[in-house]
Chains A and B, each alone.
Chain A
Amino acid sequence: MSAVGSIEQLRLCAEEDVPLHEGKVVRVGDRPLAVFNTEDGFRVIDNTCTHMGGALADGLVGDATVACPLHDRRFDLATGRAVGHDCGAVAAYPVEVRDNAIYASIPIFDPGDGEATVGGGAASDEVTPPAETERAQSAEA
């Protein structure tokens, strides 16, 4: 990834599109992202599991992680870090919620052929944790 790009804040979906404690896939350019609605706010990470490519948006959410529906590999939702396995991390993106919509800051690259590419950016450890988002809705106890 040597091509220079910029980070753009993109509107991914509306808040009500993602049920509480679940995820949904939003395809941004050529890259599927997973948007999660957690108790701690919305989170956005890459959708593709580093193990066998499962859709993380369909995983089970708990303890600020998601477990892939195919083989239970877990990832930290705030950082994308792998939890308890060595298949590698996924990218995590800073999130902001305003006007009932979810925005994520996503690196866009221009590889030089006129086509835009959506980048996972730097390794997850260097991705800043998501900004403090408003609480989605109070979780009914």
Chain B
Amino acid sequence: MDLANETGSRHVVVVGGGIAGQALCETLKERDDGVRITLICAEPHLPYDRVNLSELLAEVPPEGPLGTLQLRPEEWYEDNSVEVRLATRVTSVDPQSASLELDSGEHLEFDRLVLATGSQPLVPPIEGTGLDRVHTYRGPEDCEAIRADAAHAEQAVVIGGGLLGLEAARGIQAQRCPVTVVHLMDRLMERQLDGGSAKMLLPAMQELGMEVELERRTEAITGNGDGATGLRYDDGETLDTDLVVISVGIRPEVALAGLAGLDVDRGVMVDDRMQTSAPNVVALGECAEHRGTVYGLVAPIYEQARVAADTLLEIDGPDYTGSIPWAKLKVAEIDLVSIGDVNGDSGATSSDAAARDYRKLSLRDGRLTGAILLGNTRGTEALLEAVRSEEEIADPLARLAEAADSGPEDMLDTAQVCDCNGVCKGDIVNAVTEDGLSSNQEVMRVTRAGTGCGSCKPLVKELVSIAGGGSEPAYLCPCKKQTREDLAQMIIEAGHEAVSEVSGACGTGRQCGLCKPALAYLVSEINDNRHREERSARHVNDRVHANVQNDGTFSVVPRMRGGVTNSDQLRRIADAADKYDVGMIKVTGGQRIDLLGIKREDLPKVWEDIGMPSGHAYAKAVRQVKSCVGTDFCRFGLGDSIKLGVELEDEWEGLHTPAKVKSGVSGCPRNCAEATTKDIGIVAIEGGWQVYVGGAAGGTVRKGDVVATVETPEEAKRVATTFLQHYRENASFKERTYDFVERVGLEEIQREVLGQKSGARLMERYRLAKTAAAALDPWLERHDPHHPKQFEQLEPVTVGPPAGAAK
């Protein structure tokens, strides 16, 4: 393998397989793909994304011990000729002879050495830290051990109320184990927050069910032979616990640097070129100390990696002059951003405790040094940029308001979006406008924006959409600023089964009410109708299974498949109409009968009397399948449209859809069932059947498009059903098929519906959804109401004259 040496390329040995080591390998390879790299990792894993470690705490990842956190697949190292030594430690280094020894006994020579040895968790010098059921929180193994203990523990404690401590506490809660955070200081996250914002964060954490004890100095962890049993504070008070997680900070790992004789203070000392006191050794990441600062955050690593790579390759580049520390709290329910030095000599604060919204700018000598955004974090990027450039600010309050209003469209092209990979707004815009990329995934893969810590992903998506010409993406609801696709992905990933879970996970949990039915549909569709039903998320029509009229009464339309009825049904309908004083009996356009003007409390009785299932005329669901008389009686009929209409309606009955779906089957091209202007229409022709989709004859008139012409009614049924499922999975809420077909395009629909694999998958999901839906005729709730007062009126309250005694 000396080919590289022969071509004159250098051999760089990187010690440390964390984010810093990986970032440096990536940057080196970008600058010079001939450089030879050996990466030495003490851990038995390839480099992984430690920033999102809390994911491993929350649940056992199905993909293996690292879940989806592994930064690059194994092939990447092969493809880029990076030689990796896992579970290997360096035992000694000699910069002068440019060589090192591994614990395997192997001897390695290098041209340049990189120290990216990271840090160790800080363990306070107190009694009991060696007990069982006491863990630090640093790697996947820690997560596994904590998760295993939390499954049996009755009360967990996290010592340390910083960013990592709070994340660890949330992870433990996900194991349904009660948790108390014990913190030395008088406020949480004191490094990132000021008093005001910390005061607002505290109740938010408590509402999540977390106990928080502030100003508590732990003197000892007490225990017995079995493991930890409690904490003892310095005032003698105690706390019972059977699981202790220590997360009080980090200590740079400098042992190797010390052995090598490098200058070490808190960390390995580096200059503005990331060079240590030895000319052939650089250091970066959490083990390095630059101008007196050791950074424990991810963004500075990438800035350091760029300068370190330049130094190693002797490229003239900008110096590293330090980073603005900033952090985003990754506890799903709370959005919190802290930038820079938040305790300046002046500034401005806007705070609304009820709305849990806190925004602060911090200034020193009239220049911006830091900011805190809690609740509404809009303007983060603008403020980051302003802090970086130490913007001079005359009226901080006005600047604060301006930042809150600034959207991604106001950002400069040079503004950095992804700090991890140094991607600017302009790079993302170019990827869309010049390279012609359109999907978020493509843009992220090509620009690498959003592939580091992931915190900028929402912004990247917004920029992709803006660059694509849409000034604003099609949000499911303006109150959420999230698209249907984003929410669907979130529901799938988190396994949400109810609307309230989704709302809770959407940032601040804001919920205008009007988008609940859309979320309810999304949750039911993704869970194949095996969701947890929350009636408060449904429109009144779907709470009482009838259509509300302008006078507050309701209308009842029973199922009458294919528009075919009989004398017995008609008799029962007539009797019920008399008995409940129905205001009007109307034959609908869809060949059904509508009973109008029924009082809510009479609904269950009417359903019972007519004894027919719900026609779903009130719901966003499959309505009727209208049919003409077809071959049985008509002298022109080419196909048995009644049979097919009845079968289809029977097949689809009870399925909810993004918007109502009206259908029709015509027995010949004379089209008496008006099938060509239905959402789904089937028309018999000589020798076969045409399947139309996206027709309309309402406010919009549109002739449907022929998806396919097939030979048998069975095939027609399958194509129509596959389209129905494709529409159910991909349309926006309230988007009728005529808009959906135009938006997506007929070709794409044909590919999905007629494709063998995709068609089979759609049918499979359709069957899953259908099995759960078929069990439910909503009108059976007359026997088993969802709530005791679902259909009932409450007792009126009588009032007498004001002076009277009547109650």
Contacts and interface: CB of A to CB of B under 8 A. Distances in A.
Contacts of B788: 16
Q: Which of B511, B513, B548, B795 has the most CB of A within 10 A?
A: B513
B600 to A, nearest CB: 9
B535 A67 contact: no
B801 A60 contact: no
Interface in B54-89: none
B539 interface: yes
B799 A116 contact: yes
A13 B801 contact: no
A-B residue pairs, 5 tightest by C-beta: A62-B513, A21-B536, A58-B540, A27-B796, A60-B513
B512 interface: yes
A110 to B, nearest CB: 5
B787 A110 contact: no
Contacts of B516: 60, 62
B755 interface: no
A47 to B, nearest CB: 9
A28 B514 contact: no
B479 interface: yes
B514 A72 contact: yes
Interface in A105-119: 106, 108-110, 114-116, 118
B39 to A, nearest CB: 43
B803 interface: yes
Nearest to B479: A63
Interface string B516-560: 110000000000000000111101110100001011100000000
A33 B444 CA distance: 53
Contacts, number: 118
Nearest to A63: B512
B7 interface: no
Interface residues of A, number: 48
A20 B799 CA distance: 28
A70 interface: yes
Interface string B765-807: 0000000000000000000000111000111111111111001
Given A59-B540, A62-B513, 8 more contacts: A12-B794, A20-B536, A21-B537, A26-B795, A29-B799, A59-B513, A108-B799, A118-B799
Interface string B548-589: 101110000000000000000000000000000000000000
A55 B539 CA distance: 12
Nearest to A58: B540
Interface string A47-89: 0000011110011111101110110101000000000000000
Given A70-B548, A70-B550, A29 B512 contact: no
Contact of A65 (B513, B548, B796): B513
Given A5-B802, A110-B803, A62 B514 contact: yes
Contacts of A22: 535-536, 543, 787
Interface residues on B, range: 35 or more
B504 interface: yes
A6 interface: yes
B199 interface: no
A66 B796 contact: no
A90 to B, nearest CB: 15
30 contacts: A8-B802, A10-B797, A11-B797, A12-B794, A19-B535, A21-B536, A21-B537, A25-B794, A26-B797, A27-B797, A29-B797, A54-B548, A54-B550, A55-B540, A58-B548, A58-B552, A60-B513, A61-B536, A62-B515, A62-B516, A63-B479, A65-B512, A67-B514, A74-B513, A116-B799, A116-B800, A116-B802, A118-B799, A139-B500, A140-B500
B interface secondary structure, majority: loop
A39 to B, nearest CB: 10
A6 B789 contact: no
B356 to A, nearest CB: 13
A43 interface: no
A82 B510 CA distance: 19
A29 B680 CA distance: 50
B802 A109 contact: yes
Contacts of B551: 53
A141 interface: yes
Contacts of A106: 799
Contacts of A26: 794-797
A17 interface: yes
A24 B539 CA distance: 14
Contacts of A74: 512-514
B514 A60 contact: yes
Nearest to B804: A116
B540 A29 contact: no
Contacts of B552: 54-55, 58
A65 B512 CA distance: 8
B376 to A, nearest CB: 14
Contacts of A28: 796-797, 799
B536 A110 contact: no
B787 A116 contact: no
Nearest to B797: A28
B511 A62 contact: yes
Contacts of B540: 55, 58-59, 69
A22 B543 CA distance: 10
A6 B802 contact: yes
B651 interface: no
Nearest to B504: A141
Contacts of B536: 19-22, 60-61
A141 B500 contact: yes
A29 B801 contact: no
- Count chain A CB atoms within 10 A of each CB in B479, B514, B541, B552 and give the residue with the most: B552
